[in-house]
């Protein structure tokens, strides 16, 4: 198994003729061939695809059953020299009962047979006329003329290293507790569903929702394949619906009602699933409570080569790609932020808020959140004290944007120049003002924090923090300076998302003049403005020139914290996502910077103020991220 834990899988829907086994088998082989061309290691076919699903009373014909077994023998012979696991549907006669089964075939042998656990017998389905439920079939053995002692049961898991494949069949997914739930608790991370689900209006949407929610609940990949349009249409129509889901997301889906062989293929990430299960305490507790042991049928792929890596990798994983979804997400985030701040304001019974405004993105977002909160609480906006504190590096552009925004929003604006106070402090601590080092910068950050903290004490207000998640991850803040506040509304919002939130307000919620100010703020380079501006009054200290592009750091953060990926895997995915934006050397350079800063700056995160969790990644020391401040980064820096 590749160290990346990626594997390519397929779902297939072959052309079929009802009860025409030779025709069906030939098309199954064609689909297998196509899956092989696409480098798939697993292909899942529809329910009873060897015979076709709609044979009805023909399932009692001995000739059909005998020819079905011969077709399985033929398929085993066909598979001898190909490196792919095949899951096909066919009937099985066992102990005078007929079972609807999935046959798992690999390199010339049937590895195991899984019966359908639940047999539908309501509305349009009447399978119990022919088939016996396999719910309690475990640890049995089946003998054919060409192979003996084939494992038969519902608790089979087909295993190759980290690849652990379990099976359920059609109706099984629709039950209260699907067999796949138990299989996943027993270790399966890929579930195949061989199905024959007919079409009625809106059923396909319900079916997709069911598949994606089951893959999310079980933290697995789910491969679904249903029989196609050439089944009998006496009473029902089938569409050949297929989809592949992973942990709640549909990765690939087929086109329904196709009149040709169809194969869909995608890469699934077993490492991601393992990380999710390891982190989820409820899943682990469920495993401990569930005592049944699986029958592991072990086999070995010759290679785990998945060919060209064509799995979509979003370069901005915190930001929805679709405009409509992005707007919904922004609205929801503002609701979370404003509800959290409203609770803190009402709990403390403080009617005033104090915010340091720089003309940058983060303080702008914090101000917009505070304004919306005060409007919601019906507190006048002039109770929001906005303080702009020009220093050595403050440019006219950021200063004017800060002043214009506060005036346009109707807040109380105070201007306090910190230059004289900082010069006095340099004198007090014997620091040469011409030495523009970290002391020079941090003096300014702490002076600003002291001012707004003291104003809050004097006015009976709450200091609103402005720092974001990306800055916390990198430790890009001054300890007990901008690092500190009385409530931090942006603490779990990454920089890439901050931009979209401000843009959302500019586009949707404010007047034209305020929108123009916000757009100019969006176009301003990210900078703490702690170093003197150049001779033309422009910003010289650009954050991304120093610590690297925030879009890269947010990408690294997402996969390091959310999925616990190794640096090797993060680097691999980053190269895929940003191949048109950065060279491999540049990506590698900034990943090392991220790793080193993330570890060495934990002491700042261990002392951050309260603030609401907004997304799936949070670095709060009280909840999501508990890390020793003196942990070594050496292991993560090794090549």
74 annotated binding-site participant: no
- C-alpha distances in angstroms, 173 versus 29, 192, 558? 27, 11, 32
User: Is 362 annotated as contributing to ligand binding?
Assistant: yes
Is 363 labelled a binding residue? yes
- Partners of 109 in beta bridges: 106
Bridge partners, 224 (sequence order):
193, 243
Which helix (DSSP H) or strand (DSSP E) does residue 156 occupy?
Answer: strand 156-160
Q: Considering 101, 170, 330, 491, which one is annotated as catalytic?
A: 170
Task: Give the pair of three-digit tokens for residue 385.
Answer: 């004290």
Q: Which long-range contacts (CB under 8 A, 24 or more apart) does 375-379 make?
A: 376/338, 376/342, 377/342, 377/345, 377/346, 379/345, 379/351
Q: Which two tokens stand for residue 454?
A: 């003291």
Q: Is 535 annotated as a binding residue?
A: no
**31, 39, 47, 422: which one is catalytic?**
47
Sheet holding 384-388, edge to edge: 412-415, 384-388, 352-356, 461-465, 487-488
Residue 598 DSSP symbol: H
Residues 6+ apart with CB under 8 A from 621: 605, 606, 607, 608
Determine if residue 197 is labeled as part of a ligand binding site: yes
Q: Is 360 annotated as a binding residue?
A: yes
Torsion of CA 426, 429, 430, 433, to 10 degrees: -20
- How far is Cα 527 from Cα 544, in angstroms, rounded to an integer? 8
- Angstrom distances, CA of residue 320 to CA of 174, 267, 301, 328: 30, 21, 37, 10
How far is it, in rounded angstroms, from Cα 37 to Cα 29?
12
Sign, CA torsion 578/581/582/584: positive
Asked whether residue 3 is marked as a ligand-binding residue, the answer is no
Concerning whether 47 is annotated as a catalytic residue, the answer is yes
126 is in an annotated binding site: no
Q: Which of 39, 67, 116, 315 is catalytic?
A: 116
277: helix, strand or coil: helix
Q: How far is CA 431 from the centre of its chain?
A: 48
Establish whether 116 is a catalytic residue.
yes
Q: How far apart are CA 620 and CA 638, in angstroms?
A: 27
Report whether 478 belongs to an annotated binding site: yes
Does 174 carry a binding-site annotation?
no
Element of type H or E holding 102: strand 97-106
Radius of gyration of the chain (CA): 31
- 139 annotated among ligand-binding-site residues: no
Rounded CA separation 546/530 (Å):
13
Active site residue 101: no
Taking CA 556 as the corner, what is the angle to CA 555 and CA 557, rounded to the nearest 5 degrees?
90
- Count of beta carbons in the 10 Å neighbourhood of residue 617: 23
| 356 annotated ligand binder | yes
Q: What distance in Å separates the CA atoms of residue 245 and residue 203, rounded to the nearest whole number?
A: 17
Residue 442 annotated in ligand binding: yes
Phi and psi at residue 422, to the nearest 5°:
-70, -40
The answer to whether 479 is a known ligand-binding residue is: yes
Count of CB atoms situated within 10 Å of the CB of 9: 28
**C-alpha triplet 170, 173, 177: angle, nearest 5°:** 145
Hunting for tokens 């292909």 — which residue is that? 43
Judge whether 251 is annotated as a binding position.
no
Q: Determine whether the annotation assigns residue 590 to a binding site.
A: no
Got the DSSP string for 406-428?
Answer: HHHHT-EEEE---HHHHHHHHHH
Closest of 186, 176, 170, 183 to residue 238, by C-alpha: 170
E strands, 198-275, are 221-226, 242-246, 249-253, 262-269
**Helices 550-557 and 584-600, packing angle to 10 deg:** 60
- Binding site for ATP: residue ranges? 356-363, 466
- Binding site: residue ranges? 122, 197, 203, 356-363, 442, 466, 471, 476-479, 604
- Binding site for L-glutamine: residue ranges? 122, 197, 203
Give the residue numbers marked as catalytic.
47, 116, 170
- Binding site for deamido-NAD(+): residue ranges? 442, 471, 476-479, 604
């Amino acid at each position: 198994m590749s160290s990346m834990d990626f594997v390519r899988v397929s779902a297939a829907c072959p052309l079929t003729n009802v009860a025409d086994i030779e025709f069906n088998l030939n098309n199954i082989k064609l689909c297998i061939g196509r899956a092989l061309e696409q480098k798939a290691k697993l292909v899942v076919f529809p329910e009873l695809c060897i015979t076709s699903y709609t044979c009805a009373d023909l399932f009692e014909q001995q000739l059909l059953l005998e020819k079905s077994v011969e077709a399985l023998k033929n398929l085993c012979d066909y598979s001898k020299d190909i490196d792919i696991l095949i899951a096909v549907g066919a009937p099985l006669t066992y102990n005078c009962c007929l079972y609807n089964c999935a046959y798992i075939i690999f390199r010339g042998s049937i590895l195991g047979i899984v019966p359908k656990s639940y047999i539908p017998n309501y509305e349009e389905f009447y399978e119990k006329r022919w088939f016996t439920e396999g719910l309690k079939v475990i640890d049995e053995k089946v003998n054919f003329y060409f192979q003996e002692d084939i494992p038969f049961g519902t608790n089979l898991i087909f295993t190759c290293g980290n690849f652990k494949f379990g099976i359920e069949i059609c109706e099984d997914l629709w039950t209260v507790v699907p067999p796949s739930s138990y299989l996943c608790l027993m270790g399966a991370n890929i579930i195949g569903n061989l199905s024959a689900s007919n079409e009625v209006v809106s059923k396909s949407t319900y079916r997709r929702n069911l598949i994606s929610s089951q893959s999310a609940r079980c933290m697995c990949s789910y491969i679904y394949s249903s029989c196609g349009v050439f089944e009998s249409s006496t009473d029902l129509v089938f569409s050949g619906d297929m989809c592949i889901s992973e942990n709640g997301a549909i990765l690939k889906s087929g086109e329904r009602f196709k009149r040709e062989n169809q194969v869909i293929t995608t890469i699934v990430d077993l490492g991601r699933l393992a990380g999710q299960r390891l982190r989820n305490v409820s899943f682990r507790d469920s495993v401990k409570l569930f005592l049944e042991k699986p029958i592991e049928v072990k086999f070995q792929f010759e290679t785990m080569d998945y060919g060209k890596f064509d799995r979509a990798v979003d370069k901005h994983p915190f930001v929805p790609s679709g405009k409509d979804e992005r707007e919904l997400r922004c609205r929801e985030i503002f609701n979370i932020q404003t509800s959290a701040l409203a609770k803190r304001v009402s709990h403390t019974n403080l009617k005033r808020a104090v915010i340091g405004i720089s003309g940058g993105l983060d303080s702008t977002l914090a101000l917009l959140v505070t304004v919306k909160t005060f409007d919601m609480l019906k507190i006048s906006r002039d109770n929001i004290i906005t303080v702009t504190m020009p220093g050595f590096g403050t440019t006219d552009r950021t200063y004017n944007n800060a002043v214009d925004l506060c005036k346009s929003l109707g807040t109380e604006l105070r201007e306090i120049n910190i230059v004289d106070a900082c010069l006095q402090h340099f004198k007090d601590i014997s620091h040469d003002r011409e030495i523009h080092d970290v002391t020079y910068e941090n003096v300014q950050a702490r002076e600003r924090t002291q001012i707004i903290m003291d104003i809050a004490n004097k006015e009976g207000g709450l200091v609103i923090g402005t720092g974001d998640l990306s800055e916390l991850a990198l430790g890009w803040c001054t300890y007990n300076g901008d690092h500190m506040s009385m409530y931090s509304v942006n603490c779990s919002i990454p920089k890439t998302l901050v931009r979209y939130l401000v843009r959302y307000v500019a586009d949707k919620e404010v007047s034209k003049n305020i929108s123009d100010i916000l757009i100019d703020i969006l176009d301003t380079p990210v900078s703490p403005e702690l170093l003197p501006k150049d001779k033309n009054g422009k910003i010289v200290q650009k954050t991304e020139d120093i610590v690297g592009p925030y879009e890269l750091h947010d990408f690294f953060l997402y996969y390091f914290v959310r999925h616990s990926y190794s640096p090797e895997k993060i680097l691999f995915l980053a190269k895929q996502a940003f191949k048109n934006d950065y060279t491999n050397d540049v990506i590698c350079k900034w990943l090392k910077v991220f790793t080193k800063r993330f570890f060495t700056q934990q002491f700042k995160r261990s002392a951050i103020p309260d603030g609401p969790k907004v997304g799936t990644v949070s670095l709060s020391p009280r909840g999501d991220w508990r890390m020793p401040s003196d942990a070594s980064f050496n292991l993560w820096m090794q090549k």
